[in-house]
Structure 1
């Protein structure tokens, strides 16, 4: 009998997977590597130290929570050495795809002889909707599981290579990769395009997500900050971010809002939104990383879809 290990994208889906009663143990990957600085050597002491510092500073994550939730689960993964089949459960969005790359990079180093397969949800019907794993019926999940993609050694090497590029100090290399590669991973190129749009635009110094927050405030006229947050969450394409991440973004843009009840932009906010003013210098933070690159050392040219180094 082959032994199985499932690695999931989060606690909510782990609960759902347990209810399907598939064979094998389940490990939950509790990280959000799409935010903050990342290092190539996944699981190393310096990797976890860097991650804790970011989460503690920006999300007030305590050491005890980090050890209990993230490190304990990672150690459990390290202790699962016997399984010869490992199934990854991830979704189409940037949040999931970056975590998936990190896990595959770790598996390449530490589980060289296991058969690794991937269940990845996204486009599941004729509509334009992209589905998260939790949105699918048990029947659909079992169907995806039965038809999961067995990853070749080349696929795993490629994922590791993309992870190395994500952790490098220059996102232009990722841009070149997207332009010249047919991806074996169905949703990865779109997720990486979304990643590049997180660098500030030349036009007003805000990135795509920050501009979307202002645009939603101006066009939808939400009654409150909570309504603004829900509207942004519902219309985020390939990002897959949670409310804590968007709340942090809204807080960084607070000077551009005259009121949150109802939501109104200041005159400056409207000027930034219409590219009549540039907010780059007010937002610039020399400690803010996207992967291995400093966010404010690069600009995104939305006209040409190219990254420029400052």
Structure 2
């Protein structure tokens, strides 16, 4: 068995990593822990049951698909016990950062003796653009690998602490903790701040991304739902979401649309977009979770960027 284990953020980058010929075994972390309810004991039976229940309900993921894609790869991770070094390949965005801290929480418990290194893409040049790993050249990826960041005990403890808070029903504690970030996990605070913006706005009951979707419908005049999703993918800041997530969001907002083809808002939709009407009572659901917190149990106060418990 190789001395190095690589844990990647998804299949797209795994295929890139295989071509780099840097040696080592590769495990792909196939999850989207930024969505749906999470519990803090990563890899436990109750953890995977919770995840399957969510993915099946939200995205119609079948049990066979979940077992073959996610659980088999997790079991592969469990079987990698002899490597002296573990290298994590993740990105700057919320999608990746939540998965990363969950993996670090698991490693803290199950691989305490391993030397853990991080390759995290993001701010790679003098432009304002943040880069995904798959957007970088082979030479740049090799440079990042050769300068990979050794994570110390404090970094891993902090990642685990933020993961525990993410899984709690108290995002105000999480907000306070990310403001005290002294770790080497440079993108974690900003990613978690964007997570807090996913709670519904005090002004109209929709969160930052839902409001953005309505605004893009007004300003870009997309002809179809697919064009709305395309606009969201182009300009989403540090969320890092995929088309599946934006399709689900559009379906949740469907009552505010007269039509998706062409995409047009109802009168209520326009009022909500203008924050002249609060849609909270209509969209509120006890089934929606952000980490360990019911989504509609807190409001985001935009003027102060603070959370308000209901």
TM-score tier by shorter-chain length is over 0.9
Distance in 2 of aligned mates of 1:191 and 1:183: 14
8 Å contact from structure 2 (residues 179, 189) kept in 1 = no
Structure 2 equivalent of residue 165 of structure 1 = 165
The secondary structure found in structure 1 opposite 2:179 is helix
- The match for 1:267 is 267
Q: State the secondary structure of the residue aligned to 1:27.
A: strand
Following the alignment from structure 1 to structure 2, what is the Cα–Cα distance between the partners of residues 2 and 216? 49
- Distance in 2 separating the partners of 1:179 and 1:303: 18
Secondary structure at 1:290 match in 2: strand
Does residue 179 of structure 2 align to residue 179 of structure 1?
yes
1:97-136 equivalence runs, <5 A = 97-136=97-136
Deviation at 1:264, TM superposition (A): 1.1
Aligned-residue Cα RMSD (Å) equals: 1.0
Using the alignment, how far apart are the partners of 1:269 and 1:12 within structure 2? 37
| Structure 2: runs of 5 or more not aligned | none
Q: Which residue of 2 aligns with 1:211?
A: 211
1:260 shift after superposition: 1.6
CA-CA distance at 1:24 after TM superposition: 0.3
**8 A contact 1:38–1:51 mirrored in 2:** yes
Unmatched 5+ stretches in structure 1: none
Q: Which piece of structure 1 moves more, 219-228 or 192-201?
A: 219-228
Tell me if the contact between 2:225 and 2:260 (Cα under 8 Å) persists in the aligned partners: yes
Deviation digits for residues 59-95 of structure 1 (CA, Å, limit 9, x no counterpart): 1000000000000000000000000100000000000
User: Corresponding residue for 1:82?
Assistant: 82
Q: Cα 1:206–1:39, aligned 2, differ >3 Å: closer, same or farther?
A: same
Deviation at 1:261, TM superposition (A): 1.8
Q: How far apart, CA to CA, are the structure 2 residues paired with 1:20 and 1:180?
A: 37
How far does residue 182 in structure 1 lie from its aligned partner after superposition?
3.4
Asked if the contact 2:158/2:183 (under 8 Å) is kept, the reply is no
Corresponding residue for residue 189 of structure 1: 189
Does the 8 Å contact 1:183/1:189 carry over to 2?
no
Question: Which deviates the most, 232-241 or 180-189?
Answer: 180-189
Q: Separation in 2 of the partners of 1:18 and 1:181? A: 33
Cα deviation for residue 226 of structure 1 reads 1.1
* Aligned equivalent of 2:146: 146
Structure 1 length as normaliser, TM-score? 0.98
- What is the rounded CA distance, in whole Å, between the counterparts of 1:123 and 1:179 in structure 2? 20
Q: Deviations over 1:190-246 (max 9, x none)?
A: 100100000000000000000000000001111221111101111000100000000
TM-score, length-scaled by structure 2? 0.98
Q: Which runs of 4+ in 1 moved over 4 A?
A: none
Q: 2:247 & 2:223 partners in 1: Cα distance?
A: 16
Name the structure 1 match of 2:241: 241
| Residue aligned with 2:281, SS | helix
**Matched residues in 1 for 2:254 and 2:62: separation?**
26
Helix, strand or coil at the partner of 1:66:
helix
Contact persistence 1:7–1:88 (CA under 8 A): yes
When structure 1 is superposed on structure 2, of 182-191 and 8-17 the one drifting more is: 182-191
Contact 2:155 2:183 in 1 (8 A): no
> Greater CA deviation, 221-230 or 239-248?
221-230
